[in-house]
Structure 1
Amino acid sequence: MQGILSSKVVLVMYGDYQCPRSADVYKMIKGIKRELSASLSEDYLCFILRHFSQAQIHPHAQRAAQAAEAAAVQGQFWFMSDTLLAHQQNLENCYLVEYANDLGLDIPQFLKDLPKQVHIDRINQDIESGIRSGVTNTPALFINNIRYAGRWTITELKAAIVAASH
């Protein structure tokens, strides 16, 4: 989570690290968050990224989600998410270790967590939450618990976020 739950707007994104549209929307949200934080206030928008790996069409997404959670334990979830979404074509294990190393993670711990799938329950909770909320594919957004159904443009998404705060 980036921000606080008591923010005027809580934006939840269900994403898949191998989904090109998830990467595009993630970048869009990060830009909107920066802009709104600068112009309104730092805690105007709370952004929550939830895993919704679609293993049947994205074979590396689940392992990438595990890498993100292994990085989260070491305080690097957002940096790892940025990296994974920026390098979607390279999500095999050797790259995940390279990204962890680049972020300065404890590699022995990372290598212990990944094959044992110690974070799989956390990822499955996100997927189950998405399914309960009607998510079938990625990306899926919820603004203050209401499913976003607008167009995937910066202008429309930003307008929906601002409107949700009133």
Structure 2
Amino acid sequence: MMSKLTIPVTKHDHLQGNLHAGCSLVEYGDYECPSCGEVQPIIGKLQAHFGNQMSFVFRNFPLREIHPWAEAAAEVAELAGSQGKFWEMHDLLFANQNNLSESTLQSLVDQLGLSEVKMQQARSNGTLKSIVEGDFAGGIRSGVNGTPTFFLNGDRYDGPVDFESFVALIDQVLISDGD
């Protein structure tokens, strides 16, 4: 039994591309996960290859037990998102994933010119934490148990995560949905 995405993609997700694209790729990821880091360039190539036929959504799934900075990184990404810079922070976090720390996160916040005040407020009132926990809970309900976990048009994809395999699968999805 293949697991399904239980939380549908909406305009409230961190989405690149058209919400109504023929193919929707959702990743549950962790900014400190090496495999998530390795797959980011592949996703970029897929986006370039499929253009407006594909949308990409990133949802937080920090594996707190093994990645001590994953949750803080996810919160910083959400902070950036609240100021219209989610994807810039997303890319910076993956680029710096091997040296995440309080000072690294602080320098990325400064680099993107994010509001220090908003960060302190969001941290103290737990807004960012609750967004990240919402993503995590949705992932659990969809059967996510590790990162990266992908869903293609709502169906979990557990196959190889190389460019060619994704292209073959997405082509198949686009053809079958076109009937």
Q: Which residue of 1 aligns with 2:21?
A: 7
Check whether the contact 1:5–1:46 (CA below 8 A) recurs between aligned residues: yes
Range moving further from structure 2, 6-15 or 89-98: 89-98
Q: Which residue of 1 aligns with 2:105?
A: 96
Q: Can you give the 5+ residue segments of structure 1 that lack an aligned partner in the other structure?
A: 38-42
Check whether the contact 1:67–1:114 (CA below 8 A) recurs between aligned residues: no
Size of the aligned set, in residue pairs, is: 161
Structural RMSD (CA): 1.3
Q: How do residues 3-152 of structure 1 correspond to structure 2 at under 5 angstroms?
A: 3-37=17-51, 43-152=52-161
Q: Within 1, Cα distance between the matches of 2:75 and 2:124?
A: 9
Q: Within 2, Cα distance between the matches of 1:158 and 1:25?
A: 14
CA 1:126/1:68 → structure 2, altered by over 3 Å: closer, same or farther? Answer: same
Q: Within 2, Cα distance between the matches of 1:24 and 1:88?
A: 11
List 4+ stretches of structure 1 deviating above 3 A. 114-117
C-alpha displacement of 1:128: 1.0
TM-score computed with the length of structure 1 as normaliser = 0.91
Q: Within 2, Cα distance between the matches of 1:66 and 1:77?
A: 11
TM-score computed with the length of structure 2 as normaliser = 0.85
Check whether the contact 1:97–1:107 (CA below 8 A) recurs between aligned residues: no
Q: Can you give the 5+ residue segments of structure 2 that lack an aligned partner in the other structure?
A: 1-14
Matching residue's letter, 2:30: D
Check whether the contact 2:123–2:129 (CA below 8 A) recurs between aligned residues: no
* 3-state SS of paired residue (1:165): helix
% same residue: 35
Q: Within 2, Cα distance between the matches of 1:81 and 1:159?
A: 26
Q: Within 2, Cα distance between the matches of 1:23 and 1:112?
A: 29
Q: Within 2, Cα distance between the matches of 1:65 and 1:30?
A: 20
Range moving further from structure 2, 61-70 or 82-91: 82-91
